[in-house]
Structure formats: C-alpha cells, structure tokens
C-alpha cells in the first residue's frame, strides 16, 4: 500500500522535472499518531529543480502541494519538503 502511494507521489511530481528526487517513507515513525490511525502515510521529500529558481520557500512548497493536494489528508497525512533549485 505505501509503495503505491510513493509511486503516485513520484509520478505526480515528475511534472516539476527534478534534477534530484528522493522520497522517504517515514510512516513507521508516526505509529500511534492520530493522522496515521487509518493508515495514512507520512513522507519526507527532497526535490531539486530549476523551476524553483527565484522562488521563496513558500512558493516552492505551493508548487509541490499543487500537484498532490487531492491526496491529503488521506492517503497521505504528512509531507515534509526540502525544496531547492540546484543539487
């Protein structure tokens, strides 16, 4: 199940044409957390793309969330983002 969610996030975020992309499943760190009780996943995303050039951190995060907002809060409960313009 988590692998499917990870694949879905990966596919959605390829539109940003990342030069570096790493998606880490941290769901096991949140066992017992209210957001994970129904099986929702927690991920940490490291994404670098020239599309972030000149954008604030908030604007970078918005670009990411624009592509995955319909997956939150279920099946993705949390997405921690590290977004940079260059690797």
Q: pLDDT tens digit string along 30-85?
A: 565 655 566 678 899 999 999 999 999 999 999 999 999 999 988 888 899 999 99
Q: Which domain holds residue 18?
A: 2-84
How many independent structural domains does the chain possess?
A: 1
Q: What are the angstrom distances between the C-alpha of 72 and each of 5, 17, 19, 42, 65?
A: 11, 22, 25, 10, 9
3-state secondary structure of 29: helix
- Domain with residue 28: its CATH number is 3.30.300.90
pLDDT at res. 40 = 76
Q: Report the candidate in 7, 75, 8 with the shortest Cα–Cα distance to residue 41.
A: 75
Q: What is the pLDDT of residues 2-20, one digit of tens each?
A: 689 899 999 999 999 999 9
């Amino acid at each position: 199940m988590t692998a499917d969610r990870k694949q879905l996030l990966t596919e959605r975020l390829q539109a940003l044409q990342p030069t570096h992309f790493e998606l880490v499943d941290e769901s096991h760190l949140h066992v017992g957390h209210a957001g994970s009780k129904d099986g929702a996943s927690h991920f940490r995303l490291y994404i670098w793309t020239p599309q972030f050039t000149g954008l604030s951190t908030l604007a970078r995060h918005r670009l990411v969330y624009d592509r995955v907002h319909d997956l939150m809060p279920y099946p993705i409960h949390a997405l921690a983002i590290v977004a940079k313009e260059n690797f």
